[in-house]
Amino acid sequence: GYRVFADGEVVGEVTSGGPSPTLGYPIALAYLPPALAKIGRPLEVEIRGKTYPAEVVKKPFYRKK
C-alpha cells in the first residue's frame, strides 16, 4: 500500500482506498500507530511519488440523513 507520513516520518500504510462518489473526494483506510489515530490528526499519503494531505476522520465517512 501507499506510505502514510506524519511530521515527515513514515508511520503507516494505506490498506485500501479510492474515490467516493457520495463525498466527492478520495477516501482510504490505513494502518496507523494508536497514538496517531486521533480524529483530526493531519497526515500525508504518498501516491505514485507525489504527497497529498490527509486527515484522520471518524467513520462512517458519510453523513446519515
Our measurement of the distance from residue 25's CA atom to the centroid of its chain's CA atoms, rounded to an integer in Å, reads: 12
- Total domains, the chain: 1
The pLDDT score that the predictor gives to residue 22 is: 87
Asked if residue 64 is part of any domain, the answer here is no
Q: Is 7 within the bounds of a domain?
A: yes
Residue 15, pLDDT > 80, answer yes
- Report the CATH number that the domain containing residue 30 is assigned in CATH: 2.40.30.110
Is 11 inside any structural domain?
yes
> Residue 25: inside a domain, yes or no?
yes
Question: Can you give the residue range of the structural domain that contains 23?
Answer: 3-55
Model confidence, pTM: 0.86
40 domain-assigned: yes
Residues 6+ apart with CB under 8 A from 55: 40, 41, 42, 43
Residue 61 within any structural domain of the chain: no
- Residue 26 located in a structural domain: yes
Task: For residue range 45-58, list pLDDT tens digits in order.
Answer: 999 999 999 999 99
Q: How confident is the model at residue 64 (pLDDT cuts 50, 70, 90)?
A: confident
